[in-house]
Chain A
Amino acid sequence: MSQETLLIVKQQSQPEGLDALLSRLAEEHGMDAYACRQRLMGQGFALLGRGARDTLERVSSLLKEAQFHHWLTTPTRPQFAPAQIRSLEQTVDGIVFTCQKKRVTFEKGTAVLAVLADLSGRLADRSAKQLISSYTYQGRDHITHLSEEKIYRTIMENKPVLDLYFLDDRKTIVEAVRVVPGKFDHKGLGERATLSSRRNLHEMIGLCREYAGDFQLETGLGLSTLPGCALDKLVDDNSDILRKNLKALTRYGWLMVELKQQGGISLQQEVTSLTGSLTAALLAQNPALAGSEDLAEAMPVVGELAAEINRATQAAASETATSTRPPTRSLPAPPEPVRVRRNWLSPKVWLGSVGGLLTAVVLILLGTTDSILPAMMHYGFEVGAFPALLAALMFCGGFHYLHLKRQVENTPTSKVRSVAMGMVEVKGKAIRQYALISPKTNIACAWYRLTNYRREGNKNWVISSVKSSETVPFLLEDETGRIVVDPAGATVRAGNKKEGFSSRNSISLAADYSDRNGSEKWVEEIIYEGTNLYVLGFASVKKEQGQSLNEKKREALRDLKRDSAAMKRFDTDEDGQISESEWEEARASVEDQVLKQSLGKNDRRRRQEEQIVIVNPTGRRPFIIAETHCETHLTRSFGYYAVPLFVGATVCTAWAISLLFG
């Protein structure tokens, strides 16, 4: 029976042409695109597939086209685990490691594969946090992974262990040792020895690098998803977990050596094969050289040419790697909420005040405070005032929703590129303009509303506070461009709602139900970045920032007046005075100059997001922001609200009449 082959890939942070590769993997090989995306993106190694070699070879050719480093391997079981060192001794020819049962000599010039890993299993957590924070602050298109330096530092800060594999010329393992910080006599490091166990481990890596002919350090355990190489999180130094993680480390080390033996179908491999092809081509032209054992000696030109190609290809590869890296986008912090001052002259305030005063007067006229409640009950229910009031409110509510429904239906959808001033309807994806995150669930979002509840009595929840991001504008993106939406005063219908029963902040993405019987509860409504939005609002020109053209012109003219030398240039008749016609000429010249300067600075046209903003319309016109996949869904929901309100209004009217005449 043939042994199973594994297809292992080196993950990439921002692979180019990933979507095309995923669709081909799905179409041609029936592989799940989502799972493949997870396996192909990242920082470590991942198992992309396992099975018959011929099938995997076909997948391999696709990966090769997409320039993914990958290996087809039939893994062997580790034949021995690295022996833990107790001490070391540096000699002229190398380093002698003393382990419990044997002595291992590391001869100078030997190839070494070093695997440095954090056995606490926290590297994966750190990586996840990095992904979340970069997503939050830099946006979904600019996710950055942990840098090599950070990975190294994280490993060193937790529970680091170093495995050293000494390889022969055929890259097979000759010996292997394990270095556990604090568990070996550091005096053997000589001048490198320090009082810090982790620093000593760092120095050990440096020492091995110095002695090794070919030194390769692997730090990907914990970030990789390879069979048998998963690390469990170490809790309270649990010996079982530690033992399991050490086994995973051994497996990972052996697997890395196997991959190193293969060399991989990498870019470097491509170069080698290119060199090989070139050599073959030259040999074909000169068959006399075919029998030569040492091509470099026999054909120095080929060697030089190959080296030249190597250099050029590596330079091109490094250039591509740097040039294709997207520029990092750091979103600014959200603006501070503006405290809205109450406008005492607004009609709403006046109506409220006058209404309240009248109610108070009526209540006083009805009798003393003791008899207010009975009087209200009498007029409210016996005469039917309450049901009548309820009917009126429901009737108005019904018409409000009907009006909204028709308003949405009657407004055609504009494209962002050509939005005109006035009431507009636009549809697109929500994109953050500021680094906004939801306060409870810590998710990157374009908008949120947090409602806090307090338990009153046994069951009832009462709203204690409401906080929203209505002062934080966001962008709406359709296929033609982006536009700013200022959500202040909008009726927002968010599609996502998270609920928690604890007042503590939670980093987890799920709601916190740990304190279900507590006295506090929160509900967070969120519009995630990238969700489809419907916006009906008023498009207006943004307030101009900086000096306007006229201000610039005025300032330039003031400067000209102060500069007597410059003024002399316009004194064409040289009488020492600037006449009216001369001044007109000077003014025209300055204006022209300012205009040219202004155009020179802004030779590109300003984008919609820089000049237009959708805001709350004045008057009774609606401002709706709704997370919905289609407009009909929204209008239908308005209809669903209106119908029961009308039915309720009719019932309440009948009730009021029956009370009045009953």
Chain B
Amino acid sequence: MTGWIVLGVLLLILLGLILYVILIYNGFVQLKNNINRDWSNIDVLLKQRYDELPKLIKVCEGYMQHEQKTLEAVIKARSMAGAARADQDRMQAQNALSETLKSLFMVVERYPDLKADAGFRQLSNRISELEDQIADRRELYNAAVTIYNTRIDQFPDVLIARPFNFTSRTLWEIDPTHRQDVDVSFQHS
């Protein structure tokens, strides 16, 4: 009789283990899909920003004849962002675009007429809003990737992750040069 009880309990534990493995596996699938979804959600905003940029450049061109370099940099960065295909390239291209936009908004400070333009204000607000949302979603993406990468390296999840080939994903990191201190100079050339 004791043997039957032991057998029964062992069977229950085995069943529990199988279900636990399924739970972990499904968890990985969900995490992987979450990461893909978060990435796609960033894409939605990037596309919106991509579509808004020509309008902004058009408004700026009328006022900023002497800042052709800055505007060209934005146009070039936009084209690169549109052409990038691999995840890593796209991340880098989008980072570069964000940086050129920052430069553009800094340069705009010298053009009070442009700053007063209602169309420019609306577009710049919209792009700033999109930038904020992109930053939020980038954080979310990184959080999802971190959870996933932690899970696949943790015990006992690692025992399921390895055989089923769940590999780690890349975080969206900023360009290392942007970690350096900003050199502020008030001397006009």
> Which of chain A's residues 374-428 have a Cβ closer than 8 Å to chain B?
391, 395, 399, 402-403, 406, 409-415, 417-418, 420, 422
Please name the 3 residue pairs, one residue from A and one from B, whose CB atoms are nearest each other, closest first. Answer: A412-B143, A418-B136, A657-B8
Q: 27 interchain pairs (CB within 8 A)?
A: A402-B20, A409-B147, A410-B34, A410-B147, A410-B151, A411-B34, A412-B38, A415-B136, A417-B132, A417-B136, A418-B45, A418-B132, A418-B134, A418-B137, A420-B44, A480-B132, A480-B136, A605-B126, A650-B9, A653-B9, A653-B12, A654-B5, A654-B8, A657-B7, A658-B1, A658-B5, A662-B1
Given contacts A654-B9, A661-B1, 18 further A-B contacts (CB under 8 A): A399-B19, A402-B20, A402-B23, A410-B34, A410-B147, A410-B151, A411-B34, A412-B147, A417-B132, A418-B45, A418-B133, A420-B38, A480-B132, A605-B129, A646-B16, A653-B12, A654-B8, A660-B4
Q: Does A649 contact B (CB under 8 A)?
A: yes
Q: Which residues of chain B come closer than 8 Å to A413, judged between CB atoms?
A: 140, 143
1/0 per position for B37-54, CB-CB distance to A under 8 A?
Answer: 110010011000000000
Asked if residues A420 and B137 are in contact (CB atoms below 8 Å), the reply is yes
Q: Which residues of chain B come closer than 8 Å to A411, judged between CB atoms?
A: 34
Asked if residues B139 and A420 are in contact (CB atoms below 8 Å), the reply is no
Asked if residues A657 and B37 are in contact (CB atoms below 8 Å), the reply is no
* Cα distance A403–B20 in the bound complex, in angstroms: 9
* Cα distance A653–B5 in the bound complex, in angstroms: 8
Asked if residues A391 and B136 are in contact (CB atoms below 8 Å), the reply is no
Chain B: minimal CB distance from A395 (Å): 7
Chain A: minimal CB distance from B182 (Å): 24
> Which of chain A's residues 465-481 have a Cβ closer than 8 Å to chain B?
480
* Cα distance A417–B128 in the bound complex, in angstroms: 13
A-B contact count (CB 8 A): 77
> Which of chain A's residues 562-611 have a Cβ closer than 8 Å to chain B?
603, 605
Asked if residues A395 and B12 are in contact (CB atoms below 8 Å), the reply is yes
Q: Does B144 contact A (CB under 8 A)?
A: yes
> Which of chain A's residues 623-662 have a Cβ closer than 8 Å to chain B?
646, 649-650, 653-654, 656-658, 660-662
Q: Which residues of chain A come closer than 8 Å to B27, judged between CB atoms?
A: 406, 410
* Cα distance A240–B82 in the bound complex, in angstroms: 87
Chain B: minimal CB distance from A618 (Å): 16
* Cα distance A403–B7 in the bound complex, in angstroms: 27
* Cα distance A304–B185 in the bound complex, in angstroms: 51
**Interface SS, A side:** helix
Asked if residues B144 and A412 are in contact (CB atoms below 8 Å), the reply is yes
Q: Does B31 contact A (CB under 8 A)?
A: yes
Q: Which residues of chain B come closer than 8 Å to A402, judged between CB atoms?
A: 20, 23
Interface residues on A, range: 20 to 34
Q: Which residues of chain A come closer than 8 Å to B132, judged between CB atoms?
A: 417-418, 480
1/0 per position for B9-31, CB-CB distance to A under 8 A?
Answer: 10011011001100100010011
1/0 per position for B139-174, CB-CB distance to A under 8 A?
Answer: 110011011000100000000000000000000000
Partner of B30, one of A391, A410, A415, A656: A410
Interface residues on B, range: 35 or more
* Cα distance A410–B29 in the bound complex, in angstroms: 11
Q: CB-nearest residue of chain A relative to B30? A: A410
Partner of B12, one of A422, A650, A658: A650
Chain B: minimal CB distance from A639 (Å): 14
1/0 per position for B112-135, CB-CB distance to A under 8 A?
Answer: 000000000010001001001110
Asked if residues A649 and B143 are in contact (CB atoms below 8 Å), the reply is no
* Cα distance A649–B9 in the bound complex, in angstroms: 9
Asked if residues B5 and A415 are in contact (CB atoms below 8 Å), the reply is no
Partner of A403, one of B9, B23, B139, B143: B23
Q: Which residues of chain B come closer than 8 Å to A658, judged between CB atoms?
A: 1, 5
Q: Which residues of chain A come closer than 8 Å to B1, judged between CB atoms?
A: 658, 661-662
Asked if residues A649 and B12 are in contact (CB atoms below 8 Å), the reply is yes
Asked if residues A391 and B12 are in contact (CB atoms below 8 Å), the reply is yes
Q: Which residues of chain B come closer than 8 Å to A646, judged between CB atoms?
A: 16
Interface centre among A391, A411, A646 (most CB of B within 10 A): A411
* Cα distance A480–B136 in the bound complex, in angstroms: 10
Q: Which residues of chain B come closer than 8 Å to A656, judged between CB atoms?
A: 8
Asked if residues A399 and B34 are in contact (CB atoms below 8 Å), the reply is no
Partner of B31, one of A410, A414, A420: A410
* Cα distance A400–B144 in the bound complex, in angstroms: 23
Chain B: minimal CB distance from A383 (Å): 14
* Cα distance A649–B126 in the bound complex, in angstroms: 57
* Cα distance A649–B147 in the bound complex, in angstroms: 31
Chain B: minimal CB distance from A431 (Å): 20
Chain A: minimal CB distance from B178 (Å): 21
Chain A: minimal CB distance from B130 (Å): 10
Interface centre among B1, B5, B34, B41 (most CB of A within 10 A): B5
Q: Which residues of chain A come closer than 8 Å to B143, judged between CB atoms?
A: 412-413
Q: Which residues of chain B come closer than 8 Å to A661, judged between CB atoms?
A: 1, 4
Asked if residues A417 and B133 are in contact (CB atoms below 8 Å), the reply is yes
* Cα distance A413–B134 in the bound complex, in angstroms: 15
Asked if residues A422 and B8 are in contact (CB atoms below 8 Å), the reply is no
Chain A: minimal CB distance from B14 (Å): 12
Chain B: minimal CB distance from A116 (Å): 54
* Cα distance A406–B143 in the bound complex, in angstroms: 15
Interface centre among A409, A410, A412 (most CB of B within 10 A): A412
Chain B: minimal CB distance from A163 (Å): 60
* Cα distance A646–B12 in the bound complex, in angstroms: 10
* Cα distance A395–B34 in the bound complex, in angstroms: 28
